[in-house]
Chains A and B, each alone.
Chain A
Amino acid sequence: MDQIVLGFTELLQPSVLMMLAIGVFAGLIVGSIPGMNENIAFAVFIPFSFSLPAEQALALMVGIYCAAAAGGAIPAIMIRVPGTASALLTTVNGNAMARKGQAGQALSIAMTSSVLGGLLSALVLLVFAPVLATIALRFGYVENAALTILGLSSVVGLLSGNVLKGILSAALGLLISTIGFSQVTGYPRYTFGSVNLIEGIPFVPILVGLFGVAAVFDLLQDQIKGRRDNNESEKLPEIGSMHLGRSLICRLVPTWLTSATIGNLIGMLPGAGMLMAIYIAYDQAGRRFRKKFEGRAGEPKWDDGAPEGIAAPEAANNAVTASSMVPLLSLGIPGNSTSALFIGAMALHGLVPGPLLFTQHADIAWMIMVAFLACNILMGPVAYIVIRTVSRLVFSIPKNVMVGLILLLCLLGAYSDGNNLFNVWVALGAGVVAYLMKVSNIPLGPAILGLVLGSQMEASIANSLSISRGSWFVFIDPVNHPISVAMLLLAAVMWIAPILRGLRHLRASYFSAGTSN
């Protein structure tokens, strides 16, 4: 308790609090610009952070990190272009709601979910960090391998219709992740002698391409279609009322709690990250929605404006933010690529994350933890102001101008990740591929998860087999690896449930056909 007070006294210095607020504001803006994300913002900011005292620099980074994950939802809802990869799934139901004239509601759900997800995760960080860190340590090679399989399996529930196309998509993602110098064998694969491909396809540019550039092509298509049909170009949705009714809030509580829990658990496991969290949360929320609400009077279809479809990924991605600091602060192990950037920023100020931080620089360590709590509290009102002012202004830009602007920003974002022109080609290429996939009705989600999880899956399976001296039973060894067994069982359920549902459906239609004859 004393330490939490220590953290607060450090944070409540006006200059530090001010930086946190600036960070939240900047994060919302950066998050809501397609092609920009918190990694790029940090890369730009870290060189400047030199001139600031450590506590101010870190408060600003905490603000950006939390708010960027929330800001991504704004363009996702308004124009169906996710601002960050973490808002990828928010586009589906969010934009559907906006097109029905409920943009304000959708934005409000997104921000409330982000704040709640973030707050729960900040509390977890503050109270349970040491306990959770020991759980993270139980994840070895075998458990990590099972985790990646569970993550990939979470897309099965999202595959409406053609499962084969989904598997094809996942295979494509996994294949792309094998490009580059293999850390397992030490040999290059599919690099075609290009220096740029030695480390594989650069990750930020390909993501920017898959969700940003591809969405631009989509908007362009709408434009062209609109012009051909000689229609007035469709206006961007009005933001409208942001008030959430009591019944809606009550109804979303279970989704918030489940999604925040999923985000917290995945966030603290090194390597998994936000994308996996949003897919699993979205899948969970979808199952619940279909069971409880779909088909009722006044309820939309899943994928067509269900509030749960916004609440789940938005609560989950913000729950990842603070929980990804759990292993970083307590052990020095970053939970994902963004929290890894905190290591660099801290090193510039002579701080090394890990157990020693709490003995040598307890003030800073606890300041970071309470900053996560404070920035989520700040985020609600700041988001309201940003949506009412900046976003309203931005979304009054004509749609065709917006399309060009977004494309430019995406390519700029891709380039600035390493200042390498090759990245621009990667982003454009990925955009074309994603657009073609969309046209041929191949879902993009499995490819992205395959891409994200591929190399971790490969390395952890190879290392597990190396430890077991080649025995595959290591993954289902209930004595030494119970966590792995449990996760694989859960993954199996994700595969079997839709099959059973399909069978039941088939049987029902068979019997009904039988009686009619």
Chain B
Amino acid sequence: MYKSIVLGVVLGSGLISSVSAQDYPMKNIDLVVPFAPGGSVDVTSRLIAEAANQYLGDVKVVVSNRAGGGGIVGQNFVANANPDGYTVLAMTSSVVTNPQLKGAPYSIEDFIPVAAYNLDPEVIAVPASSPFDTIEDFVAAAEEDPLNMAVAGIGTSHHMSGLALTSSVGIEFNYMPAQGFGEQLQAVVGGHADGAFWPMGEAMVHAQAGTVRILAVASDARDANFPDVPTFEESGLGIPVWATFRGWAVPRGTSEESVTFLSELLKQVYEDEKYQQKMTDAGFDATYRDATSFQSLITSYTDQVVPIIEDNGLAR
């Protein structure tokens, strides 16, 4: 008797879950990009949507831009959205730091990570005309006198990567904030700054063009495009990885089925060769980390930045 009830429940729930899996997605999925069209998150999101829509049949992933407040307006919109699986955030690492740094009204726990599609390790770049040929030259000079380093702004991940170096090996920097990457590039290529803390994604083409030189990369392995550039760890900088990430997240409360479905969808996209080529051409390294692995990425990033924010008094 009991056995048959248990069996019934199990079968029933299995049936329900399989039905609900087929039920989703029934309509278009909104991929919220919290920035204006044309930026890196927008471009990558559109490449993903294009690839994803080949596998979705009748419904589509639709990119919708909700800019404002440096991304917080759109991020907050998703945090408060109906957790039905039809609102997805194009999530960046700034979601981790925005509550603490900028007083964003959400918390990182308001989101469930779906999957990561791009990791962007930090690099130390110098002008092509720089006297520093190697990371050792750079560190030696920084020990003498703080170097002037271009960064995207005080309190950005890039500024904090410099602060992390101060904590780990004691070298200090003079930070030269400039909002746009163009202005930073002008300062570095023109030799007005000694170097820059940049994401690899931005620095790569300019290093390949020979206008800047990358001295070290903060990832666990060397970059295939720059086999001669050592990692931070190899250079004795004491930071194994420092990378910003891009991925998908959904509001807390979204069903596990939806999360799994979206995660699998991103995996399919990742395995698409045409998509990989397009990402490479646009200057991004396509990767895939499933929900669990993305969660641990977020956790380790949080563990890395929170002490830096607190030690340097950056919190609001």
Contact = CB atoms under 8 A, between A and B. Distances in A.
Contact of B283 (A184, A199, A331, A347): A347
A344 B182 contact: no
Interface in B95-127: 101-105
B154 interface: yes
A199 B153 contact: no
B238 interface: no
Contacts of B46: 47, 50, 348
Interface in B157-209: 159, 174-180, 182-183, 185-187, 189-192, 205-206, 208-209
B65 interface: yes
A459 B282 CA distance: 30
Interface residues of B, number: 61
Nearest to B76: A195
Interface in B202-255: 205-206, 208-211
A418 interface: yes
Contacts of B67: 417-420
Interface stretch (B20-28, B37-45, B292-300): B37-45
A416 B276 CA distance: 31
B50 interface: yes
A194 B271 CA distance: 41
Interface stretch (A84-92, A158-166, A350-358, A439-447): A350-358
Interface residues of A, number: 59
- Interface SS of B by simple majority: mixed
B249 to A, nearest CB: 18
A344 B73 contact: no
A340 B190 contact: no
Nearest to B279: A350
Nearest to A184: B177
Interface string B70-111: 101100100000000000000000000000011111000000
Nearest to B314: A186
A141 interface: yes
Interface string A118-146: 00000000000000000011111110000
A467 interface: yes
Interface of A: 42-43, 46-47, 50, 136-142, 181-188, 193, 195-199, 202, 270-271, 327-328, 331-334, 340-341, 343-345, 347-348, 350-352, 354-356, 417-420, 422-423, 455, 459, 463, 466-467
Interface of B: 36-40, 42-43, 46-47, 50, 63-70, 72-73, 76, 101-105, 148, 152-155, 159, 174-180, 182-183, 185-187, 189-192, 205-206, 208-211, 277-278, 281-283, 314, 316
10 contacts: A183-B177, A183-B179, A184-B154, A199-B69, A270-B182, A340-B180, A345-B38, A354-B209, A419-B66, A420-B66
